[in-house]
A and B are shown apart, each in its own frame.
Chain A
Amino acid sequence: MSSRLLIGLVAVTMVSPLLVNQLYAYSSDQWNKTVQRVKPAIVSIRGYRPVWSRREKASSYEATGFLVDSRRGIILSNRHVVGASPNVARAVFTNRDEVELRQLYVDPTHDFGFFQFDPSSVRFSLVEVPLGDSDLLMPGEEIRVLGNNAGLDLSILAGTVSRTKRNPPFYGLATYNDQNIFYIQTSADTSGGSSGGPVINIRGEVVALNAGGISGASAAFELPINAPKRALRLLQNGLPIHRGTMGIRLFYASFRMLEMLGVPQSSLKKVREDGPTLDGMIVVDDTLPGLEAHDLIEPGDVLVDVEGTPIRDNYEELEEILDRSIGKSVAIRLWRGGRSFSLSLAVHDLADFEIEEIVTVGAATFHKVPIELVYDNNVPIQGVYCAQAFLMMLREGINPNIIITKLAGEPIETVSEFVAMMRRLSNGQTVRLDYLDLNERNQLKIGSFQIEKNWFPLVRHLKKRESARWSVLLQ
């Protein structure tokens, strides 16, 4: 068989389902068979977050996940479900069997994470759902979203793919938002509880992971399944997952916007020649205070190439370059207006920005300054963030959502320094607090409060870097 024929066959195999999709809608009977096949892999997740973190209160929740590795008991769901803080969760299969979950991995930027359970603890054979290729999704394609919609255990929502290359949904300032990736938009009318549910095609392959939606409109936002696939592969092989960053948040801008940003027509013409599907380029949205990029790069700069690889709409390729360059520098070329310039930027380990210790004392909660706050509030990454202020501080008029810079007159840059100081201070002692108030335009303020360790003693919640699991250390 000639190599040309082989390539032709492969191409037909890949493209044909799409063609079929375009040609006619599948009958409900066909969808029914597909859904029945996938259903046993879906779990409704029920759990609670016992500790406040970031701007999220302790709460209980319901969500969805699905089995992607039956041998290892790996369940895929959203980052905002698996959680980057302590989480106690259980999964209920559609046959009502329940398993305890533990956090296995949460991605530092994208909205996916994995739970794991002990497969030997279930009394039936597990069914995993195959992962498809989200790059092959086309607008207009019919899909089904399966999930614990509105806490109803299992809902099956019909819809079509509306867009395949939209910027990630924006959930609000100073809160977690996905970045540097394309999202899929579908017409499924999802609601709370369906987070982490699979979006399946007619062949029963997962093509995306349900992440968010707009209430009152039939629009759901889904993370393409190709994003978690690489992480899953590494987990299955017992390999560490490294994620790198230059400290730049990006967005995809249309050619029209690029023109408005001052990119000359001649440059854009060349880019258009790179591909017929190309309708824009990746542009800098924001930089992380404290990293080199913050001083060298401006919002609106257009990313042209990284380490010699042209950057157009290929987020995935960019991510791979960064993930393998942690601790090194990468050469990047950008356009600013009509000018092209190059520079070298260090690639940092995203794990360094993750919250790995949460301290509770006096019913107040403290941890590292979350990266999304550094981005959105333009605050330094040093200091200790107060997520909950009840009892000890609130009664002195000190609200949560502040960054502690000094405690009892001594500078506090890390959580360890904060813990050491709290240990030294005795119960009932009144101490001075210097802090940046993020509720009031980052003003530097001075207050005082009485140390309270009686009712709620100092507890350290620690996460090991190599896993997403938390342990509790009572001081």
Chain B
Amino acid sequence: MVCPTPVIPKVVLTAMLLVVVPAVSPAATPGLSDMSRAVLSIQTTVPFSLAGEPVGIHYGTGVVLDQRHGIVLVDRSAIGHSPRTAVGYLFNRRRVDLVPVWFDPTHNFGFYRVDPDLLAENSVGRLKIGDSDIVTSGQGGITVQATPDHRIEMSQVVIGDLFHDPVAQTGGDEMNVYYWEIAGGNQTSGNGILVDSRHRLIGLVIREGRSDLVLPINTVRYAFAKIQNNEAVPRGSIGLVLQSLFIDALQDRGVAVEQLSDKDVRPSDRRLVVARTLSGFAAAEIFQPGDVLLRIDGRPVADRFGVVEGVIDEKFGGHVAIEFLRSDQKHSVELPVTDLKTFQVGRFLACDGGVFHELHLGAIFEGAAPGSGLYISWVRFGSPLDSYSIRAGHILTKVNDIPVTSIADLIRVLGDQHQPRDLKFSTVDMRQSGERVVGTLRSDPIYFPCRYFERDDAGQWSEWSTVEAMQLDQLRVE
């Protein structure tokens, strides 16, 4: 039996675009100005790039979700691994300092905290959170974006495909979630938020090239609740990168679809399938691309990423049982849940114009094996690395043929240099399918001496001498 697909046909979508109003001012529509009082224009400054995040000054949009606790939601362009200073501009252009609280390791959002008294003083509004699970394709919405000069721009949009697969487009470390596609927004703006007709927050707008995608707001709920209660946000992974496929696509790939469910399945139904596994995880030894997830800890998965993530986060520190289908055979397996915090960059070494750190999830996502080397996140122009073919994004595996898998290894090889010397850097370029690159360079302790930085539990970065760094490392090992 064939049912109509929930995806809105392109012809209809084009027709809808014709009635889209390009931009409306907050004052023009009654009620919108209340909403815009909850929106902040955010400016962040990144002095050193980590995890491939861009260095420099960036502008973004934040939204106050909780006035009482001063919790501001942002997308990952405004928060991440890199050290950064952040300031927000309220609707009345009042400048406020923002303190990073937490960012999600696999989804495109994070939180800042702002002084709640300042929010109260300035009568800053709070945006109500809607339910992104009841959003339908074809529904209208309003995107709200802060501009670099601290104005708020709004555009009417139409929500299109609700099952956009971020694995296909976004890359990086975004995985296991559905995005929405929207059409009709102001194409000149950056990231922002999406509200429904009743001005409830239903998603975060993420620009991807020329198209606007939306991260549904329900993805944020779990972490937001924890942050509100001042609790840690456990986030785990079993090392599976999933994708959502139609039943008929599974059938084409030789999956015995009759085994998927007791009920009749429709060709337009979807199931979650293993796209690939992350190297270093137990799942890498067990799963193959195309394996269909049936149950996780006894709960049917169907096409819901939220179920998979929910169970994994619940079983943080323990194991989860997975039932999956390969061709016509059902299999069961138990997998340990790895704490994703272990992939957060907590220290880095800046040396010879490069910024080096231990592998973050994005590097593993690109195919690097944990512990296989150090990520080169940034290469400064006019430095030894810049002039000798070493590029940002490479994984440094050896220096002078000595393997380097930790910052301590690298400090041991580079850190005590006082005179320039010849170095052989062996790197792997994961973006070129693991192409191995060797560069020889002359170290430069005068203009680019080694500098070591470490982040404490409160998220504050401080610089240590490389000797201190080695002592810190030994303490940790003991």
Q: Do these two chains interact?
A: yes
One of A56-64, A133-141, A171-179, A334-342 at the interface:
A56-64
What string of 1s and 0s marks CB contacts (under 8 Å) between B436-465 and chain A?
000000101011100000000000000100
Given known pairs A48-B382, A50-B382, A60-B387, the reply for A391 and B45 (CB within 8 Å) is yes
How far is B419's CA from A100's CA once the two chains are assembled, in angstroms? 13
A156 at the interface (CB under 8 A from B): no
How far is B387's CA from A49's CA once the two chains are assembled, in angstroms? 10
Interface size on A, residues (CB 8 A): 23
List of A residues within 8 angstroms of B380 by Cβ: 58
List of B residues within 8 angstroms of A472 by Cβ: 446-447
Q: Which of B43, B45, B47, B384 contacts A48 (CB 8 A)?
A: B384
List of B residues within 8 angstroms of A86 by Cβ: 447
B47 contacts A456, C-beta separation under 8 Å: yes
How far is B384's CA from A58's CA once the two chains are assembled, in angstroms? 12
Given known pairs A50-B448, A391-B47, the reply for A57 and B387 (CB within 8 Å) is no
A60 contacts B446, C-beta separation under 8 Å: no
How far is B444's CA from A454's CA once the two chains are assembled, in angstroms? 21
How far is B448's CA from A60's CA once the two chains are assembled, in angstroms? 14
How far is B41's CA from A395's CA once the two chains are assembled, in angstroms? 13
- Cβ of A86 to closest chain B Cβ, rounded Å: 7
List of B residues within 8 angstroms of A363 by Cβ: 47
How far is B57's CA from A49's CA once the two chains are assembled, in angstroms? 23
How far is B240's CA from A3's CA once the two chains are assembled, in angstroms? 97
Considering the complex, which residues of chain A in the window 442-464 have a beta carbon less than 8 Å from any beta carbon of chain B? 454-456
How far is B43's CA from A395's CA once the two chains are assembled, in angstroms? 8
A431 at the interface (CB under 8 A from B): no
List of A residues within 8 angstroms of B381 by Cβ: 57-60
How far is B43's CA from A394's CA once the two chains are assembled, in angstroms? 11
Interface size on B, residues (CB 8 A): 22
A88 at the interface (CB under 8 A from B): yes
A90 at the interface (CB under 8 A from B): yes
A51 at the interface (CB under 8 A from B): yes
A58 to B, closest residue via Cβ: B382
What string of 1s and 0s marks CB contacts (under 8 Å) between A330-366 and chain B?
0000000000000000000000000000000001000
Given known pairs A88-B447, A363-B47, the reply for A390 and B56 (CB within 8 Å) is yes
List of A residues within 8 angstroms of B83 by Cβ: 455
How far is B381's CA from A456's CA once the two chains are assembled, in angstroms? 16
How far is B353's CA from A357's CA once the two chains are assembled, in angstroms? 22
B56 to A, closest residue via Cβ: A390
List of A residues within 8 angstroms of B420 by Cβ: 100
A88 to B, closest residue via Cβ: B444
B48 contacts A394, C-beta separation under 8 Å: no
- Cβ of A475 to closest chain B Cβ, rounded Å: 14
- Cβ of B295 to closest chain A Cβ, rounded Å: 49
B383 at the interface (CB under 8 A from A): yes
Considering the complex, which residues of chain A in the window 385-405 have a beta carbon less than 8 Å from any beta carbon of chain B? 390-391, 394-395
Which of B353, B387, B442, B444 has the most chain A CB atoms closer than 10 A to its own CB? B387
What string of 1s and 0s marks CB contacts (under 8 Å) between B56-86 and chain A?
1100000000000000000000000001000
What string of 1s and 0s marks CB contacts (under 8 Å) between B16-45 and chain A?
000000000000000000000000000101
B383 contacts A48, C-beta separation under 8 Å: yes
B420 to A, closest residue via Cβ: A100
A47 at the interface (CB under 8 A from B): yes
What string of 1s and 0s marks CB contacts (under 8 Å) between B374-409 and chain A?
000000111110110000000000000000000000
Q: Which of A46, A50, A454 contacts B383 (CB 8 A)?
A: A50
List of A residues within 8 angstroms of B447 by Cβ: 50-51, 86, 88, 472
A395 contacts B386, C-beta separation under 8 Å: no
Top-3 shortest CB links A-B: A58-B382, A60-B387, A50-B447
- Of the A-B pairs whose beta carbons lie under 8 Å apart in the complex, a sample of 8, sorted by A's number, is A48-B387, A50-B382, A51-B382, A60-B381, A90-B442, A363-B47, A390-B57, A456-B47
List of B residues within 8 angstroms of A455 by Cβ: 47-48, 83
How far is B48's CA from A454's CA once the two chains are assembled, in angstroms? 12
- Cβ of A460 to closest chain B Cβ, rounded Å: 13
How far is B118's CA from A444's CA once the two chains are assembled, in angstroms? 34
B interface residues (Cβ-Cβ under 8 A, vs A):
43, 45, 47-48, 56-57, 83, 353, 380-384, 386-387, 420, 442, 444, 446-448, 463
List of B residues within 8 angstroms of A391 by Cβ: 45, 47, 57
A450 to B, closest residue via Cβ: B85
A60 contacts B386, C-beta separation under 8 Å: yes
List of B residues within 8 angstroms of A88 by Cβ: 384, 442, 444, 447
How far is B353's CA from A60's CA once the two chains are assembled, in angstroms? 12
A471 to B, closest residue via Cβ: B446
A46 to B, closest residue via Cβ: B387
Given known pairs A391-B45, A395-B43, the reply for A48 and B57 (CB within 8 Å) is no
B55 to A, closest residue via Cβ: A390
List of A residues within 8 angstroms of B386 by Cβ: 48, 59-60
List 4 additional contacts besides A50-B447, A50-B448, A472-B446; criterion CB under 8 Å.
Answer: A88-B444, A88-B447, A394-B57, A455-B48
A49 contacts B56, C-beta separation under 8 Å: no
- Cβ of B125 to closest chain A Cβ, rounded Å: 26
How far is B48's CA from A50's CA once the two chains are assembled, in angstroms? 16
How far is B360's CA from A293's CA once the two chains are assembled, in angstroms? 62
Q: Which of A46, A59, A394 contacts B382 (CB 8 A)?
A: A59
B447 to A, closest residue via Cβ: A50
How far is B383's CA from A443's CA once the two chains are assembled, in angstroms? 35
List of B residues within 8 angstroms of A47 by Cβ: 387
List of B residues within 8 angstroms of A49 by Cβ: 382
How far is B353's CA from A48's CA once the two chains are assembled, in angstroms? 11
- Cβ of A461 to closest chain B Cβ, rounded Å: 9
Q: Which of A50, A57, A456 contacts B444 (CB 8 A)?
A: A50
B446 to A, closest residue via Cβ: A472
What string of 1s and 0s marks CB contacts (under 8 Å) between A174-211 and chain B?
00000000000000000000000000000000000000
List of A residues within 8 angstroms of B444 by Cβ: 50, 88
- Cβ of A205 to closest chain B Cβ, rounded Å: 32
List of B residues within 8 angstroms of A100 by Cβ: 420, 442
Considering the complex, which residues of chain A in the window 35-54 have a beta carbon less than 8 Å from any beta carbon of chain B? 46-51
How far is B463's CA from A48's CA once the two chains are assembled, in angstroms? 26
How far is B85's CA from A394's CA once the two chains are assembled, in angstroms? 13
List of A residues within 8 angstroms of B43 by Cβ: 395
- Cβ of A82 to closest chain B Cβ, rounded Å: 15
- Cβ of A360 to closest chain B Cβ, rounded Å: 10
List of B residues within 8 angstroms of A394 by Cβ: 57
Which of B47, B382, B386, B442 has the most chain A CB atoms closer than 10 A to its own CB? B382
List of B residues within 8 angstroms of A456 by Cβ: 47
- Cβ of A327 to closest chain B Cβ, rounded Å: 35
- Cβ of A276 to closest chain B Cβ, rounded Å: 50
How far is B444's CA from A60's CA once the two chains are assembled, in angstroms? 14
How far is B381's CA from A51's CA once the two chains are assembled, in angstroms? 9
List of A residues within 8 angstroms of B442 by Cβ: 88, 90, 100
List of B residues within 8 angstroms of A51 by Cβ: 382, 447
Considering the complex, which residues of chain A in the window 51-85 have a beta carbon less than 8 Å from any beta carbon of chain B? 51, 57-60
- Cβ of B310 to closest chain A Cβ, rounded Å: 39
A455 to B, closest residue via Cβ: B47
How far is B45's CA from A394's CA once the two chains are assembled, in angstroms? 10
